[in-house]
Amino acid sequence: MDRVWWKQITKASTFCQKVIDALSSEDSIILNLPVHVPWYSTLTDIINDALRDNGIPKIIHYVENDVKPGEYLLESFCKKEIRMTYRIGKTHAAFLAEQESSTLNSSIVWVRLITPDSLAAWLDFIREYYRVLPASRQRGLFILENRGDIIAGGGKHIQSISFSSEISAYDKYTFCTLISSTAQVNSSIRPYLAELVSTVCSDDIELCAKCVGDGLNFAKDPEGYLETVSKTEFRSDGSLFDAELSQEELRYRVWESQIRMIFPLIERFRMQFIKNHRNEIQRQLPIENNYGDRIEKPEDAEIGLIYYLASVGGITMKDPTEAAKLKMLKDARNELAHLNMLPLEIVTEILAN
């Protein structure tokens, strides 16, 4: 699943490529990421592999915790004899920029789990370091992870690349559609499963993969399924899944998915039914519908009115399956029109016909 997301989904792959292009251009990066990055270790592996494949000879050094940039870089990238020459009064950025032998110049420093205050400190360091560094000298590069909803801007030689700006709802739907081919469900259900999962779990790609993988267990009872998963299952970063949806929002998203999938099928059936029984319907027009509207053309008769005309004997249906389907779709439309969710059994039957 991880490689499908980062390699086969166009915008996710483009996101990775933008990182590589920035580093290839000798620019540092503010990497604006969600709190939970889908398959984070795979993302870092892809970037590392791409650097090697593109012949970028810099070594990535990961900083796991918040540190003071200048002190950390002086300690980590300068030999002891050089560090001994540092004197208070000159900034660490200016001092490091002057050192030809510093291994910082041939490195990429990737700062993880950075706080807003620490991000500001790193940016201050980088901007001064670049300002002082001689134009002819190779410069060290930085990747600053910024997790959360606030997107941080860049500057000269500092590009801001945002996951949320690159990845759209369509990309998440495409991912769900692609991996639904492996789900153990009937082929007629797969488009609905992809739509349902991408709508309900759109904010969490790894949760999308989990729900699609469990197929019918999720589709039968999304609310109960997510409640259980949130307490017992873990993401690739070791954190528990948490749908973070209210019961009201979850039910709305399920309903929204069913509207998208079921309403077009109801409308297709209605138009075909009218085509098959046009003369019978026309003979009973004009007639007022439940809202007091005067219906004069068969094409304007909604499915509830058609069902009424059939129930009073105005339309003859020789095929009993047609009558049963008319009632099922009329009932389904009424439920959805009143913001009610349909049970999976009904959805399955509608999709199978």
Residue 192: the pLDDT is 96
Please give the pLDDT value at position 275.
94
Q: Crossing angle of helices 344-352/320-337, nearest 10°? A: 130
Q: Are residues 227 and 261 in the same domain?
A: yes
- pLDDT value at residue 292: 81
Domain endpoint, select from 167, 195, 229? 167
User: Phi/psi zone of residue 274: left (φ > 0), alpha (ψ -120 to 50 degrees), beta?
Assistant: alpha
Count of other CB atoms within 10 angstroms of residue 205:
27
Cα(235)–Cα(206) distance, integer angstroms: 7
pLDDT at residue 58, rounded to an integer:
86
Shared domain for 211 and 148, answered yes or no, is no
Q: What pLDDT is stored for residue 73 in this prediction?
A: 95
Statement to judge: residues 85 and 108 lie in one domain:
yes
Asked whether the beta carbons of 13 and 21 are under 8 A apart, the reply is: no
End-to-end C-alpha distance for the chain, whole angstroms: 31
User: What is the structure's pLDDT at 137?
Assistant: 85
- One domain for residues 142 and 8: yes
d(CA 208, CA 241): 11
CATH number at residue 50: 3.40.50
- Give yes or no: residues 70 and 191 share one domain: no
What pLDDT shows up at residue 316? 87
pLDDT of 122 reads 94
Closest to 245 measured CA to CA, from 283, 207, 296, 294 = 207
- Regarding whether 238 and 309 lie in a shared domain, the answer is yes
Q: Copy the structure tokens of residue 170.
A: 């369509």
Q: 3-class SS at 98? A: helix
Whether residue 201 sits in one domain with residue 107: no
Domain end (from 167, 190, 223): 167
**Co-location of 19 and 131 in the same domain:** yes
Domain hosting 335: range is 170-352
Helix H segments across 54-140? Answer: 69-77, 80-83, 92-98, 116-132
Domain count for the chain, please give it.
2
Residue 56: what pLDDT? 83
Within the chain, which residues score under 50 in pLDDT?
A: none
- The reported pLDDT for the residue numbered 64 is 80
d(CA 134, CA 126): 14
Maximum C-alpha span of the chain: 101
Q: Does residue 85 share a domain with residue 113?
A: yes
Pair 260, 159 in one domain? no
- Whether residues 247 and 205 share a domain: the answer is yes
Q: For residue 72, how far is the Cα from the chain centroid?
A: 35
Listed in sequence order, the residues at least 6 apart from 219 whose beta carbon sits closer than 8 Å to its beta carbon are 185, 189, 192, 193, 196, 344
CA dihedral over 95, 101, 107, 111, signed as positive or negative: negative
Given 112, 132, 167, which residue is the final one in a domain? 167
Please indicate, yes or no, whether residues 181 and 142 belong to a single structural domain of this protein.
Answer: no
